Structure formats: structure tokens, C-alpha cells
Chain A
Amino acid sequence: MERMAYTGTLGRIAKSMAEIDFDGTVNACQDAMKEGLPAAKVVGALSDGMRVIGERFEAKEYFLSELIMAGEIMKEAQEVIRPYFKEGQVKVPGKVVMGTIEGDLHDIGKNIVVALLQSVGYQVTDVGVNVPASKFVEAVRNVKPDVLGLSALLRATVPEMGNVIISLEKAGLRKDVKIVVGGLPLNEEYAKKLGADYYAPDAWKGVELIRKVVEKS
């Protein structure tokens, strides 16, 4: 197994997380809290487990089903440890608006990105699927996100991403937000042509990319 940074209860958290063991992770988080371990360290152990999940996903040992479940475990684990954070200790790293463009209803990739970003504290506004450009514009205006994520699976609907970007320009909001596009029909070159700032080839890379973009901004 991949090398992990933690031992004891924290090690159990990281290992159960890496093994996509829902009950094991949640129980270990509860034990850690009972033992009085700092919440920030528990988050660190969860992140270590997530790192392994990412490595296994890239090595094609894990699949989308594992990423989806990892998001669910992280959500539940956060519920366990949230009460133990002291006031002011919880920082929102960034704000993201995410949605699947109009004409496309595929949402697995989007949902994974949403769940994983939320699990690490991001404020994510999920505007759903089959979302018209006007709704994205409205969300960007209201939420003022660091990043707008546009998702698609169907080739035929990808040009709609360009419409969203043009609509943001027309509304004078384009310069206020970084745009990450993701989906199998795209590539780096196509993303640039559409006017996006970044391209994410899969959900896992999308999460990493958005975190980097937010850190930079």
C-alpha cells in the first residue's frame, strides 16, 4: 500500500478513507474526537486518505464510483468533526459555481467535483444540469465566485460553453472569475478556443486544478 503519513487513530482514518470504507472512516473520526485529537489533524488524515484515492484513480485502480463514494465519506466525516472546530478556525478556501451546460444532463463529473470541493471546505454553488447561460451569469453576479466550473459530456453541447463565456463578457463579469471547463469532448486547445482559462480532463484533476487556481488568486 502507498506510504501514509499517519499512525494510530489518525492512521486508521487515512487507511479507511483510502479503502473507501464508509463506516470505518466515520467511526475512526469519532474515536479521534473522543481521544481529543485536534480536528485539524483529523482533516489532515482524511486528506492523506484522499491523496491515496487520487493516486489509485490515476493508476486506474479506482474508478468514478470510488470518487463518488469518497465524496460521500468526506461529507459524513466533516459532519463528525465540524463541532470540534473552534470559532474562527474554519476558513472557506474559496467560492465556486459549478453546473452542466444547457442541453446536457450528465452530472457525474460535476457532482464529484462539487462533493470533493465541499468536503475540503469550499463554498460551492451547484446550479445543476441543463443550465442556460443566463443562469450562470446570474449565479456569477450573485455569488461572486473565484472559479466558474462548466461541465459537459456531449460533443454537441460543448459550444454552449462558449455561449456562457460570451454572456459573461457581455454582462461585464468575465474578468471577475476564472473559468474551468471539463468534460471528455474537450481538450486544452478547444478550451482555449471557447475562451476558458483552464481545462480539466477529469473530475479528480478538476478538483486539483480549482484548488490551485483559488490558491493563486
Chain B
Amino acid sequence: MRSVEDLLELHRAWWKLENERPILNVTYRENFPWMWLQSDHMHGMELVLKDGSLAKDGPLTPDMLSPEMMHPAPFTHGDLFLPVMPFGKIPWLEAICGATPQISVKGNSIWGGFGEGIWPEDWWNTDFKVRINEDWLRLLVDTTKYCADKFSKDFAIAQTSIMRGPVDIMAALVGDKNVIISMYRHPEATKQLLDRLADVCITVMKAQNEVIPKFRGGYVNCWGIWAPGTVTRNQEDGAAYLSPAFYQKFVQPADRKIAQAFDYTAIHFHAAHYIHGDAVTDIEELGALQYSLEPPPYGPTLAEWIPILKRLIKKKPLILQAWYLTREQINTLLKELPPQGLCLETYVQEAGEGHYIYRQ
């Protein structure tokens, strides 16, 4: 049976690797309406009956239902809260640091740092300073506050979803290639810049937190996981280009600084970042690691992932998101990984139906 209190306890335990069942949000999208299934009811309905129990096989009569139980507030999906947050496609952090966002309708994206030729070829020789663009910061805070004022009655409010971290912002400001060159040739200047960008990240994250109301005594992150303290998340997509040694030398200190500034933090990585999992989970202050499990060739096969994830989940809670998994693959993950620290969010698609699915 699910209640808000159940979810709070599940999430509280998850951060401590003490949850007895995983946090699940598995959507069976071939059915309508979509079903968001929670961990205690993997292959059944999510309908909550008037008495608070989940619907079981058998006849359904009106007296078994109530509007309040069918549509509980705050809104949830699966074992997660459904947060409202500022529009996530805007590259807020890059914009706040001075990279003008550019819209690409064809790419269905808004990019930070687009513009070949605008990047300084030798930023390390210039008086390169990161100044906060107050207009973008104010807009982000105002939007967060708007979300809070308008939706906090029925939803948890979270920070914006895609907050890129120091190495991504640096790439937006100086170009990917120059990030690498400066790591090799100007390591101290690079470390200082990443440190400054970590400070800006912290400022932006705290500015949002100031206008986000507490939710059941804590806060909810962009994935809908509640924590009994302040939360944040960042991502380091650009670290995918780096060797593990470079991640540790340049990026890990910046990620650690962000993790130290909040109570419950998480870093978002893509499948290509599997090589950095060990170094990230070595950050003692980090709350959790989130992997988007894009299938090969973006990253390892599911079979290759299993030993990596088994190793990492002993150290930190993992949020695993896959666009599509088969039921069999979901079962494999649930069988191979312990529930303690596991959060799995995916859409189910039967093998052969999806074109973006693990083949192995």
C-alpha cells in the first residue's frame, strides 16, 4: 500500500542504503492510460482503492473508489513524487555564466555555448573572468518562485532539472577542445576556473533553494526523490571525453565542492561515463549517482553494466534511468542488484518493439 508517508520513509531509507525495496517508477506505455508502477506492485495496477490498498484482481464497484485516493496530492508517479520545476531545456547555468543560449528547433534543444569561432583560442592567456549574468539568474529564481506559488499545493517543487556542472559550463565558455588542451597545458588555470564555476553552481543552486518551500520537512530533487534536507543535482556531460585520471584530477574536486554545500546531492551521468563511476562514488559527501543507461554503442551492454553497478551501489544509492527496457531486463536488474540504494525508472517496451533498447 502506498501513502505519502510510505514514500517519505522509503526515500529516507534509500539515501542511507537501508531501503528494503527499491524505488521504482516503471511505465508500461503500451497501455492507455499509462501505468506508473511502484515497487510493491510491479506487475499490477496502480489504482489506489478507497481504503488505501492497491487494486487486486476481481470486480470493481463504485463504493470501492474515492476521488481523493484515485488522485492523491501531492502528485506521485510510481514511487516518486512528481515535482514541478523551472523549464528544464534552458541551459540555465551556462546562460548565467555568460554563454548565450541558442535555440535549435531541428535538434529539439536549446544549447549553451554554441558558436564556433566565438571561443577564445587561448583563454588561459587572457584576463578570463566568469561573471554572473544577473538577468538570467533573476529569471531562474523568479520562475522557481512562480512554480512554488502556483503549484506547491499539489506538487513538490524542485530545482530546474538540467543544471550542468563546472566542466560543462567551462566547455560552453571556452569550447570542448580548449577544455582538454588547457587541462594538459595549463592545469592550474584550469583547476582555478573549475573551482570558480563550482562556486557559481552553488550560488545558483542556493538561490533556487531559497524560494522553494519545504516539502514534508525536506526537499525533493528533480527526479522526485524526497530527502530530509537540502538537495541539488548537477551533471558533467563533458567528462565523457576525459580519462578517469583527468576526471579525478580536474573535475572531481569541483563536484566534491558542490556536494559539500548541500545535504543530499546527486550527479547525473550518461552511459558513456561508466568509466568515472568509481571516482564519483569516492566523493564521500555525494548523496547519489544517477546514470542514464543509454544502450550500446553509447555505453556498456546491460550484462557489462551489472558488475559495475553492483560495485557502485555498495558505496552510493543509484538512480538508474533507461528509456526502454524489456520486462526481462527489468527483472534481471532487480535480481542482480540489491534493493538497498536502488532507484529504477524506465519505460517498458517488449523486445523487438523498441528501436532504442538493449539488445544484449
Contact = CB atoms under 8 A, between A and B. Distances in A.
Interface of A: 20, 22, 62-66, 68-69, 72, 102-105, 107-108, 111, 128-130, 154-157, 160, 184, 187, 201
Given A63-B243, A184-B298, A69 B108 contact: no
B114 interface: yes
A107 B184 contact: no
A130 B111 CA distance: 11
B297 A104 contact: no
Contacts of A108: 176-177, 241
Contact of A129 (B116, B241, B275, B356): B116
A69 B181 contact: yes
B243 A107 contact: no
A150 B237 CA distance: 22
A68 B241 contact: yes
Contact of A64 (B116, B241, B356): B241
Query: Which among A65, A111, A201 has the greatest number of chain B C-beta atoms within 10 A?
Result: A65
A188 to B, nearest CB: 12
B183 interface: yes
Given A22-B184, A68-B241, A69-B181, A156 B116 contact: no
A187 B296 CA distance: 11
Given A130-B114, A201-B297, A22 B242 contact: no
B interface majority secondary structure: mixed
11 contacts: A22-B184, A64-B241, A68-B180, A103-B104, A105-B109, A107-B116, A108-B176, A108-B177, A128-B116, A130-B114, A156-B107
Nearest to B246: A65
Interface in B281-308: 297-298
Given A68-B181, A128-B116, A129-B116, A105 B176 contact: no
A108 B275 CA distance: 18
Interface of B: 104, 106-109, 111, 114, 116, 176-177, 180-181, 183-185, 240-243, 246, 275, 297-298, 356
A155 B323 CA distance: 13
A154 B180 CA distance: 22
Contact of A155 (B180, B240, B243, B356): B356
A92 to B, nearest CB: 24
Given A65-B183, A103-B106, A160-B106, 17 more contacts: A22-B184, A63-B241, A63-B275, A68-B180, A72-B181, A102-B106, A105-B107, A105-B109, A107-B176, A108-B176, A108-B177, A130-B104, A154-B109, A156-B108, A184-B297, A184-B298, A187-B297
B231 to A, nearest CB: 29
A160 B104 CA distance: 14
Given A22-B185, A107-B116, A108-B176, A154 B107 contact: yes
A66 B181 contact: no
A105 B171 CA distance: 13
A201 B298 CA distance: 11
B114 A105 contact: yes
Contacts of B177: 68, 108, 111
Contacts of B176: 68, 107-108, 111
Nearest to A128: B116
B111 A157 contact: no
A68 B238 CA distance: 13
Contacts of B298: 184
Contact of A69 (B107, B180, B240, B356): B180
Contacts of A187: 297
